[in-house]
Structure 1
């Protein structure tokens, strides 16, 4: 088991020129072939030593991922069942590495990713982009449902309607079903609707009335707080 110096990788990282995937892998063949094996690496700047299973090497982020969780106590157990404790190490921080165990690989497979266990699938960039866009849409939707400069009680009423009906903010007004406006102080007398949509007020009024009734009942059912009695003077 010979130590392999990482100076060639450091040189590549320091160069602003973008290398192709093949260039980086060819120049780093020893580490690439170790994917799936157990290795020991020494890292800058404090010569920290990590030992674990080399999960992947990435020439896009110029880093490796190593799983430092202990190997399963049963040698026959597959590494895919091994718990995860992953560390991301930039190439430039790797001073040297040592192969300490071959690890588990697909029988008769070549070196690198294809034979690694657990298997390493290609990243679906289109799916990641769609997830990112959906997350942004969800965040914007949640932000739109938060009133700006309104009281906690007003937001509570908004949330009550938003659970079952299309509800949005228009300034400090709550708009339900694109028909009924609820103005501050958001009570039963605050409801109004434009001409032709008055029938929508009855349903909104019922929901708002039920909300206040439940809130009133909750307050009434609370146990009274005992008032401490001051000690009498003179004993």
Structure 2
């Protein structure tokens, strides 16, 4: 039943050929379509599945994403104001959802430009796919690094100790053990007595011990201060008259 309903809707929103007022079908928007040529113009567009009507400036028509972008923000009150001063309220609409459109106002274009987004104002720069891929890879590396800084199956206090050490020294997890500077090992329950290092790494071991000691001293001090703040204060009671 649900599949039949979806198929029925899909049949109603087949991609139009995007000639203004036309209802025949076409797979993509090409350079000959009126909608492609209307980039930068004010248009009114009807969209499936609920016959929603949007009115605004056509920002772009893209065959890679099979969608258009329309800015529905009101046009600047001054007709001579450049399109670049127009505020943005953008909507992305798939080609398959476009039922019809109407061009209601010419757009601002670069002089002697050909139809399409190449001459639209403000200009639309090409997407640097290599830069986007590099940015994606960098984000993935940072996410993996951040995930590696979170201990698996360790206590909150162990993670707090790890974070305290990692602020000054390179620190990583090896299962539930903390490895500092690839030479000093801190095992559960992560006290000073659980610090180990090779004989030739005594200096690094002593440095880590000082950090761990300072962490627990500071934690103990904070706990004591909190307990003192919560301690009840005795209020003297005035003696009753008449003994």
- Same fold by TM-score, threshold 0.5 exceeded? yes
* TM-score normalised over the length of structure 2: 0.81
Match of 2:230 in 1: 224
Conservation of the 8 A alpha-carbon contact between 2:31 and 2:37: no
Aligned equivalents of 1:42, 1:67: Cα separation in 2: 14
The Cα offsets for residues 100-124 of structure 1, whole Å up to 9 and x where unpaired, read as: 1112222332221111122111111
Aligned equivalents of 1:42, 1:125: Cα separation in 2: 32
Match of 1:142 in 2: 146
Aligned equivalents of 1:113, 1:50: Cα separation in 2: 20
Q: Does 1:7 align with 2:24?
A: yes
Structure 1 unaligned spans of 5+: 14-23, 228-235
Match of 1:188 in 2: 192
Q: Which has the larger radius of gyration?
A: 2
What is the root-mean-square deviation in Å for CA atoms of aligned residues? 1.9
Query: Which residue, out of 60, 66, 71, partners 1:67?
Result: 71
Match of 2:4 in 1: none
Q: Does 1:25 align with 2:30?
A: yes
Aligned equivalents of 1:33, 1:198: Cα separation in 2: 74
* TM-score normalised over the length of structure 1: 0.84
Counterparts of residues 78-117 of structure 1 (less than 5 Å): 78-117=82-121
Counterparts in 2 of 1:220 and 1:72: CA distance versus 1, 3 Å: farther
Counterparts in 2 of 1:226 and 1:8: CA distance versus 1, 3 Å: farther
Counterparts in 2 of 1:93 and 1:119: CA distance versus 1, 3 Å: same
Per mean C-alpha deviation after superposition, the further-off stretch among 218-227 and 160-169 is 218-227
Counterparts in 2 of 1:26 and 1:111: CA distance versus 1, 3 Å: closer
Aligned equivalents of 1:7, 1:91: Cα separation in 2: 13
Aligned length: 213
Match of 1:151 in 2: 155
Counterparts in 2 of 1:96 and 1:202: CA distance versus 1, 3 Å: same
Counterparts in 2 of 1:26 and 1:112: CA distance versus 1, 3 Å: closer
Match of 1:41 in 2: 45
